[in-house]
Amino acid sequence: MLVRDIACCRAGDKGDVSNVVVVALQPEHYQLLLQRLTVDRVREHFAPLVKGEIKRFEMPGIGAVNFVMQQALGGGVSRSLAIDPHGKSRASLMATIPIS
């Protein structure tokens, strides 16, 4: 089972900081995300793309976890050489993380 099977993801950017919010489809999926989608797991998956710290914030009101990644966008939209300078496709990368 992948993140994609139990949640929807959306990625955003502010400068060189990327955030990916992962919203559970059902309340029980939120508990799974809390247990399995840890900072370590995400760091392992995103390692080649993120130079800085990764933090996870919990949003119990909507059943979501938000990952905030520093130094993650090649200097940010304005400087990046990447084909996806906003990193919006990072949501799809998050979706490929195995949950079980």
Partner 1 sequence: MVEGHTVRIGCGSAYADDDLELAMDMLERGDIDYLAMDSLAERTLGLAQLRRRLDPSSGFDERLPEIAERVLPLALDRGVKVIGNMGAANPEGAGEFVAKAMHLHHPGVRIAVIRGDDVLQFLKDEDPTIEETGGRASALDGEIVSANAYLGCESIVSALADGAQIVIGGRIADPSLFVGPLAYEFGWSVTDWPAMGRATCIAHLLECGVYVTGGNYADPPFTPDFSLDSPSFPLASVRPDGSARIEKLSATGGLMSSMTCKLQLGYEIHDPRAYLTPDVSADFSNVGLVEEGGGVIVSGATGNERPPRLKVLVGVRQGYIGEGQVSFAGPGALERAQLARATVRRKVDRLLDNGDISEVRYDLLGLDSIHGAATPSTAPSPYELHLRVAARASDAKVAAKVALAVEHLQLFGPAGTSGHRRLVRPVLAMYTTFVDRSRVSEAVQMLET
Binding residues (CB under 8 A) for partner 1: these are 4-5, 8, 10, 12-17, 19, 21, 23, 25, 45-49, 57-64, 66, 68, 75-79, 81-84, 88-90, 93, 96
d(CA 97, CA 79): 28
Torsion of CA 32, 33, 35, 41, to 10 degrees: 130
Reference 21, options 77, 69, 53; nearest CA is 69
CB of 31 to partner 1, least distance (A): 17
Cβ distance to partner 1 smaller for residue 36 or 56 = 56
Cβ distance to partner 1 smaller for residue 38 or 89 = 89
